[in-house]
Amino acid sequence: MTDDEFAELKRVIQERETEVAARIVTLLSLAEAGFDTAEAEAALWQEIDALTVLRGYQATIIEMKDE
């Protein structure tokens, strides 16, 4: 992976982290207001799982670069 590709991966991860954090805040607000957020929470967990995979991939690349 080139340095530019790695930088792009890092940028994508940061964007996803920001999006997930914003969705968490929104869901908490909606849940507090009494709305049913079950479906949105399930979708959020899928996004969190995808973000976890991206972070794992990033960590693997960092390990490979360090070798």
Say which amino acid occupies 19. Answer: E
Q: Is the Cβ–Cβ distance between 27 and 38 less than 8 Å?
A: no
Strand extents, DSSP E, 1-67: none
Say which amino acid occupies 23. Answer: R
- The residue extents of the domains of the chain are 3-66
Tens digit of each residue's pLDDT (9 = 90 or more) over 12-34: 999 999 999 999 999 999 999 99
- What is the reported pTM? 0.81
Quick one: angle between helices 3-32 and 38-66, nearest 10? Answer: 160
Tens digit of each residue's pLDDT (9 = 90 or more) over 51-66: 999 999 999 999 998 8
Q: What's the token pair of residue 15?
A: 């964007």
